[in-house]
Structure 1
Amino acid sequence: MTATVPAVSSARFTRRFMVPVLLGPTLNPINSTMIAVALVPIATALDITAARTIWLVAVLYLAAAISQPTMGPWTICSDRRRST
């Protein structure tokens, strides 16, 4: 009885895929810096205290931490091209 080895795909990731994957982690610190700099103007515009502004940003990050990992499976389930 001989064991068969599955064929390995030679497909590689293209630039079209790799550029967004690499840009996300690269641009995230810029996003955090902009929010940190904008805390006082956000508090002034919304007429709230700095503590409430920090809570607002914390809720934003919490919502992003929960929603971003769930969007991948959700888009796979709702992809119209694959469902037809």
Structure 2
Amino acid sequence: MPRNKQPTKPPVATNLDDANELIGALWDRLNDLEDRLNQNSRNSSRPPSSNGPNVTPSAPAKKPTGRKRGAQSGHKGSKRMLADNPAT
């Protein structure tokens, strides 16, 4: 993708209307460039390998259920029976 060559001198506005027009154009360009900069594989069609090294993969969000992990209180549970004659 060819890059636009930067002008050697910045544009100069001769009156207030020209200055406001120039500010509006630069503001639009700034927003477009920031949008492009903030793209990654989650919000565009780019592959995950194109993410930078500082982007960490995030785990999918889980909905909290209000329960703690592991066996819940009041759960009967199950255990293996002891063998009468263990094989050696």
TM-score w.r.t. length of structure 2: 0.32
Greater helix content:
1
TM-score w.r.t. length of structure 1: 0.33
Q: Which has the higher contact order (CA 8 A, sep 6+)?
A: 1
